[in-house]
Amino acid sequence: MTKNKSPISCDWMAGHMPAKGKKTNKSRLYKHKGKFRWQGIKAEKYKLTGGDWADIMRQTLIGNQGETATFHVRYFEIAPGGCSSFEMHKHEHVVICVRGKGKVTAGKRLYEMNFMDTLYISPNTPHQLRNPFKSPFGFLCIVNAKRDRPKPLI
């Protein structure tokens, strides 16, 4: 597998397309190892900088292995008491709860997400995901591969 050597951040990625002439785009299975970890996928910091978030990690399931998909699929997990950044940006998100439950502020609404609840967050909507509960809040997040940098709102 080809590994991307540029720093990875939830904030924004310039794209993870293979270099010209390299053929890394092929079908792959990432076996689930249990406990919301996948074979060949490393757990990463949520963001490299900033301090308006806490106790959150991510794994990029599709988007960092040389795929040419126009979307990325990422798994985030927020520990009890943790949260994502409060931010907004031009790109949209699809968030699917797959572990525990959590709360999401999107615009002026507060949502409680439970197993398999799916939330669409529209472009330019201020949002934050939080876990005020006693178990981890894990969710899949699908975004465009090419996207703008988030604007922190705190």
**Catalytic center residues:** 141
Tell which residue, 109, 102, 95, 105, has the closest CA to residue 133: 102
Tell which residue, 18, 39, 43, 44, has the closest CA to residue 29: 39
Written as six digits, the tokens of 94 are 């699809």
> At a CB cut-off of 8 Å and minimum separation 6, what does 149 contact?
11, 12, 89
